[in-house]
Every structure is written in C-alpha cells, then in structure tokens.
Amino acid sequence: KASKFYKRLDKAVKEKEEPHVLSICFDYMQNVQLPRVPVQETFYLRQLTTTVFCIHDIKKNNAVIYLYHEGTAKKGPNEVCSLVYDYLNSVPSHYTELRVFSDNCGGKNKNHALTRFLMALTDMKKFEKIEQFFPVRGHSYLPCDRDFGIIKRAVKDHDRVYSLHELTSIVIQSSKKHKFIVKELNTNEVLEFKTWWP
C-alpha cells in the first residue's frame, strides 16, 4: 500500500503534460515556540505556540506557507478546510481535476468536514473530478516535509525570533529558489466547516 501511494505521488510529479490537473499535498509542521531566544530560563516560561501549515504544488514544486499563533486559530478540520479553500481560490480556473495528498491524521485530514468540502467543490463545478490519497501510517513522507526541512534549518540559524512577523520574514528568505509564498492567517479567515453541509 505504501509503494502504491508513492508511485501515485511520483506520477503526479511527472504529469506536467496534463495542464488541467492540479496536484497538491498539505501538512502541518512541528510547532514553533515564540519568542525563540538563547536563554535557558525561557524553557520554563509560557511561550506562544505558532503553527506552520504548508500547501505544496507538486508539479511546480512551490508552496504557500500559512502561519498563525494559538490565539488566532487551532489545528483542526476548520483550519485545514479554510486554508485549502483560501489556496484553491487563488489557483487559475483552467484546472478541471484536483489530486490531494495528505497524511492519515483523522483529526485534521481524514474526516467528514474535509470530505464534504471536497465534494462541494465538485458540486459547485470548481473541479470536475477530485481524488484524495492517503499513505499507510508511518509512511507519510511528502514534499511538504522537504519544505519543512528548509524552514527548520533557517529558524535554527536565528538565535532570536521574537514575533510572528519575524518568523514570516525568515520563512520567506529560507528558500534560495524563492519557492515559498507566506501568508499570516487572521481569525476571520477561519470558517466553520465541521457543522456545515453543502
């Protein structure tokens, strides 16, 4: 099953001759604690948990990185659906098929809210066909993970990061190929999907 998933993912990378197909993967990175300072005492103090969410275009090999802290939103179906919705609203209209790759996390990616949302996109004629792929648990290395590696190395190179805006700047500059677009999420951009039915 794991090999089938990665063969499908590899096929998505090579499907550049199918301009009507949009293939994306998305995932959360490990949380970043702010402020990040080289002082041992801060380990025992309450820090602000900051979330990094990546949506990666598999064909173009670029990504939109969404940043927000725990005072803005949580990490659940509403946030995932809202961020994917925001991303899809910005893609060109010539795409007629969507292929989605994500890990097997039930609370965030494999749930009724996301399934209903994707079904609604076909009902509204945003896409004619949508396929969703999940890897076997423990075999979920995705292109997002390479993006996270770049971001983590960049953050590690900075001794002091005090704010979300500073973190945004670091993420933007982290890729030498300028592959990241970074957006800071606002509370009013998180929509209610868990109780919504199309």
Q: What is the pLDDT of residue 90?
A: 95
Could you tell me the pTM of the whole model?
A: 0.90
Asked whether residue 83 carries a pLDDT value surpassing 90, the answer given is: yes
Alpha helices in the chain (DSSP H): 2-13, 77-89, 112-123, 143-156, 164-174
Residue pair 171/65 in contact (Cβ under 8 Å)? The answer is yes
C-alpha span between 196 and 198 (Å, rounded): 7
Mean pLDDT in the chain? Answer: 88
DSSP string, 4-33: HHHHHHHHHHTGGG-TTEEEEEEEEPPPEE
Asked whether residue 141 carries a pLDDT value surpassing 90, the answer given is: no
The residues facing 67 across adjacent strands are: 52, 184
pLDDT band with cut points at 50, 70 and 90 for residue 177: confident
Q: What is the pLDDT of residue 137?
A: 66
More confident call, 198 vs 61 = 61
Structural domains of the chain ordered from first start: 2-187 (3.30.420)
Length of the chain: 198
Q: Around Cβ 110, how many Cβ atoms within 10 Å?
A: 15
Asked whether residue 1 carries a pLDDT value surpassing 60, the answer given is: no
Q: Is 86 exposed, middle or buried (0-12, 13-18, 19+ CB in 10 A)?
A: middle
Kind of pairing, strands 21-28 and 129-133? Answer: unpaired
Q: What is the pLDDT of residue 17?
A: 66
C-alpha span between 105 and 111 (Å, rounded): 9
